[in-house]
Structure 1
Amino acid sequence: MSTQLRPTDVKRLNRHWRRRTEGRIALIVESVTQPFNLGSILRTSATFGVETLWLTGNTIDPGHPQVGKTALGTDQKLRLRRVRTTTEAIKAAHDDGYRVVAVELATDAAPLHEAPLEGDICLAVGAEDHGCSPALLNGADALTYIPQIGRVGSLNVAVATAVAIAETRGREWRQGPAQPDAPAAADAPSVD
């Protein structure tokens, strides 16, 4: 019978995945105004080891109390940078060595599972109601979208961000361990 992992086992499991991770992920958040959405994006980012978030446009202040209710303190584990314009955010990401990949239902966008997500990636997401701005779409190195087969036109920005971050990390992990001496399955946490 399966049981939940104990806190020590969770730490061991997380350490195992950190050892298998080489690529850096960053995020540009453009004009996300709803506190729940930004809080969810912050929490997901901290969970998957996103290093830097550039907040631009009229993105809500991460210090807003309702953002904190969702983020649950995870914003303290992230490097948050407020920049005036989207162009400045893209330049900062490029200066830090990231390839910028905007997540948007747009012409010339590749399906997420085919997008160029290798190496150091800065994903970029846009506003809840109108998505990424023309400046973000034109300044990105690549565009991607999340294929959907249901009868809903799009995902919530926080959910779309989580899917894109998980695919970026998962792609790296599926390619194999970053270190030749990564722990064997026998080293994975045990449940007693």
Structure 2
Amino acid sequence: MRRQLRPTDVKRLNRTWRRSTGNRLALILESVTGPFNVGSIFRSAAAFGVDTIWLAGNATPPTNPKAGKTALGTERLVTWHDAMPATEAVKAARDDGYTVLAIELTSDALPLHKADLARNVCLVVGSEDHGCSPALLDAADGVCYIPQVGRVGSFNVSVAAAIALAEARRQEWQNLPDS
């Protein structure tokens, strides 16, 4: 009979995945203002082992009480930096050894599954209304998009961040031996 894992079993399973993970992940949140989106992104970031989050533009900090309702304390598990201009955030990520890839719909964007995410990568998501700014897109090392087949033009920013983080880890783990 199938049973849910107990907390001790979950910790053991997560420890096994952590030991199989060597690539560093980071995020830049450019002008993501919805506190529930910010909280959700921090929670996904903590789950996927993101090292650093740079806030850029007028991004809402995770200290916002509404962000905290969704983050559930996970903002303590990820290093984050107060908002700065987007190009400075890109430079900081690059100086820290990351390749910076924006998640955005542009004419030269690669489908997410074709982008090389199995390395130290900093993914960028932009504002809920307008996405990434032109200055950030020019500063980034590349751009990818999440393929969609439905009739909706885009994902919620927190969902897009989670999908991109999951794909980065999937690419890193795809050649691991079965456990």
What's the TM-score bracket when you normalise by the shorter of the two chains?
over 0.9
Runs of 4 or more above 6 Å deviation: none
Task: State, as a whole percentage, how many aligned pairs show the same letter.
Answer: 60
Shift of 1:118: 2.3
Q: Give the TM-score of the pair, scaled to structure 1.
A: 0.91
CA offsets 1:55-87 (integer angstroms, 9 cap, x no match): 010101211100000000000001011242011
Q: Secondary structure at the match of 1:18?
A: helix
Distance in 2 between residues matched to 1:124 and 1:142, nearest whole Å: 10
- Of structures 1 and 2, the one scoring higher in RCO (CA 8 A, sep 6+) is 1
Shift of 1:175: 2.4
Residue matched to 1:14: 14
Residue matched to 2:130: 130
Q: CA RMSD in A?
A: 1.0
Shift of 1:146: 0.1
Residue matched to 2:147: 147
Residue matched to 1:63: 63
Report which of the two structures shows the higher radius of gyration computed on alpha carbons.
1
Residue matched to 1:181: none
Distance in 1 between residues matched to 2:90 and 2:84, nearest whole Å: 11
Residue matched to 1:27: 27
Structure 1, unaligned runs of 5 or more: 178-183, 186-192
Structure 2, unaligned runs of 5 or more: none
Distance in 1 between residues matched to 2:100 and 2:13, nearest whole Å: 30
Residue matched to 1:5: 5
Distance in 2 between residues matched to 1:171 and 1:118, nearest whole Å: 5
CA offsets 1:138-163 (integer angstroms, 9 cap, x no match): 11111000000001010000000000
Residue matched to 1:103: 103
CA offsets 1:155-175 (integer angstroms, 9 cap, x no match): 000000000000000110002
The 8 Å contact of residues 116 and 142 in structure 1, kept in 2 or not, is answered as no
